[in-house]
Amino acid sequence: MSTTTAGVLFILSLVVALVAVHKPVGDYLYRVVAGTRQSRVERGVYRLVGVDPSAGQTWGVYARAVLAFSAVSILFLYAFQRLQNHLWLSLGFDPVVPHGAWNTAVSFVTNTNWQWYSGESTMGHLVQMAGLAVQNFVSAAVGIAVAVALIRGFARRRTGDLGNFWVDLTRITLRVLLPISVLGALALMLGGVVQNLSAGTDVTTLTGGAQTITGGPVAGQEVIKELGTNGGGFYNANSAHPFENPTTWTNWLEIFLILLIPFSLPRVFGRMVGQNRQGYAVAAVMAILAVASVALTNVFELTGHGTVPQAVGAALEGKEVRFDVSNSATFAAATTLTSTGAVNSFHDSYTAFGGMMPLVNMMLGEVAPGGVGAGLYGLLILAVITVFVAGLMVGRTPEYVGKKIGSREIKFASLYFLVTPALVLAGTAAAFATGNAATALNSGPHGLSEVIYAFTSASNNNGSAFAGITVNTPWWNTALGLCMLLGRFLPIIFVLALAGSLARQAPTPASEGTLPTHRPLFIGMVVGVTVILVALTFLPALALGPLAEGL
């Protein structure tokens, strides 16, 4: 079987599996977030944190709860790293340096999981399990909770109640992320992923040298890193490491876990607004953008554009032979279409156009299907902008699922969209202005791509690294940490403010002039708006970087 044929079958099997689980997983998520019954464990959690699960929250209270929880999480994780040499299972590692601990704490709390360090030589097992892995669960739950709050804004009428953040956080963690993670971890262990508390095993290599093979609770962290679209690897090589991703079928499973919840959430949107066809329209937009990205990334890598790849007949540099070109390219597309950031190959070694695609995926706002929760609320923001533009064309007040999109709503949507480009472009300019861009190992267009990729990954809360650039310095750790922090929580504030504005509205009945938002025309318009907004914003930067290199 040819590499191309195997790659096509690999992708088609993923598509079939995601289509098959879209409805059942989406319906289960809907029951979790829309239900009213509390389990005994959940009631214990509410008593512990002192909240009334029956009390609703306005958008301001909901936002303050998100920010307060995240602030406490950052402080806890920072302290955990700084004190790790005093903790059990520290493996003798020193405390993490202050600027590195700050960067990592912000990274994992914001669902970015950018890593400046090698996990197996920097973090003890307890910090990995009780610090990083815990944040993999709750940061993912925060993203889903915010998406659900926005959906409630569309679904509810004449109320300021967006639900209760603490209830959403607890239910999503205990009823969704934990059960699936247990099953996924067992499957990965069967595939050969490591799960132990070993400090390491000393072995003699084939050449007679000595090497320590580090063990650890890898499978438990690996599954939630993918399921929660987090991406932080237990090992420096991330999902290219054979202890994290041993075989082709574990590679398939990890990609499936990455896409599972983001592609199921549109079903929750359709159920909650009472129009399943609206959910299908959102899922269709995600699917069109995702299929285009996966196809282009595979084509650019399989054709091996460039002098050296064409000379050797393949673009295999930086790729694991276990996965070959196509499985690596598909993983790269999936991880940057979402906010996962996990890698099973080095994006820096991709062809010029192949390396451009992960960058473009992040610049699209990671909405196809995006991170857990973040992808859905990002795409709903783009849908709001689309109906506003369509309303201007026909001279009437735009509406979306029964809610008018006025000046207040479009301001929140516009502010949401402007945050990430401002951070990416300002950060890149600052790196060059201060001389810190000199840490890029390459000059010219490729060096520019490395710097742009770092800020795009941080500001979009992706966390994948282009590699080829040294970021373990006080300036880089501080700057990227600020981008991750602002890139996560400013958009969340604008999303919740928009949700609050929508929830207070009375329903607007559909009329002859209402734009149908479930038909192919609207789906095409949203795809067009998404691509055009990115083109207008980032095309100059792409032209100086990967496009210049490729041409």
User: What single string gives the DSSP state of each residue in 198-248?
Assistant: ---EEEE-TTS-EEEE---SHHHHHHHHHHTT----SSTTGGGSTTT--SH
Averaged pLDDT, 424-449? 88
Q: How far apart are CA 546 and CA 551, in angstroms?
A: 8
Query: What pLDDT was estimated at residue 164?
Result: 96
Given a cut of 90, whether residue 141 has pLDDT beyond it is yes
Query: Cα–Cα distances in Å, from 121 out to 28, 118, 209?
Result: 40, 6, 19
Given a cut of 90, whether residue 1 has pLDDT beyond it is no
Given a cut of 90, whether residue 251 has pLDDT beyond it is yes
Given a cut of 70, whether residue 307 has pLDDT beyond it is no
Query: Cα–Cα distances in Å, from 350 out to 157, 238, 299, 345, 464?
Result: 50, 17, 12, 9, 14
Q: How far apart are CA 453 and CA 427, in angstroms?
A: 11
Q: Tokens representing 385?
A: 């902008």
Q: How far apart are CA 262 and CA 332, in angstroms?
A: 17
Count the Cβ atoms, other than its own, within 10 Å of residue 248: 15
Q: How far apart are CA 72 and CA 141, in angstroms?
A: 16
The chain-wide mean pLDDT, for the chain, equals: 91
Query: What pLDDT was estimated at residue 2?
Result: 64
Averaged pLDDT, 233-250? 92
Residues above pLDDT 90, as percent of the chain: 69
Query: What pLDDT was estimated at residue 305?
Result: 63
Q: Tokens representing 458?
A: 């941080």
Averaged pLDDT, 114-132? 91
Q: Tokens representing 165?
A: 């953040």
Given a cut of 70, whether residue 369 has pLDDT beyond it is yes
Query: What pLDDT was estimated at residue 303?
Result: 83
Q: Are strands 399-400 and 403-404 parallel, antiparallel or unpaired?
A: antiparallel
Query: What pLDDT was estimated at residue 304?
Result: 67
Query: What pLDDT was estimated at residue 63?
Result: 97
Q: How far apart are CA 252 and CA 158, in angstroms?
A: 45
Query: Cα–Cα distances in Å, from 23 out to 26, 30, 182, 380?
Result: 5, 10, 22, 19
- Which residues does 257 contact at the CB level (< 8 Å), separation at least 6? 180, 184, 223, 226, 227
Q: Closest by alpha carbon to 62, among 174, 167, 175?
A: 167
Query: What pLDDT was estimated at residue 329?
Result: 92
Q: Closest by alpha carbon to 476, among 84, 67, 78, 104?
A: 104
Strand residue runs (E) in 276-423: 399-400, 403-404
- Report pLDDT digits (tens) over 311-352: 555 666 778 888 888 899 999 999 999 999 899 998 888 888
Looking at residue 508, its amino acid is T
Query: What pLDDT was estimated at residue 36?
Result: 86
- Identify the bridge partners of residue 399 per DSSP, sorted by sequence position: 404
Q: Tokens representing 4?
A: 């191309």
Residue 511 phi/psi, 5-degree rounding, is: -135, -175
Instruction: Report which DSSP code applies to 349.
Output: G
Q: Cβ-count burial of 136 within 10 angstroms (0-12 exposed, 13-18 middle, 19+ buried)?
A: buried
pLDDT band at residue 535 under the 50/70/90 scheme? confident
Q: Closest by alpha carbon to 240, among 316, 321, 129, 296?
A: 321
What predicted TM-score, i.e. pTM, was given to this entire model? 0.95
Q: Tokens representing 391?
A: 């309303």
Given a cut of 90, whether residue 229 has pLDDT beyond it is yes
Q: How far apart are CA 105 and CA 273, in angstroms?
A: 36
3-state per-residue secondary structure call for 464-487 = CCCCCECCCCHHHHHHHHHHHHHH
Query: What pLDDT was estimated at residue 415?
Result: 95
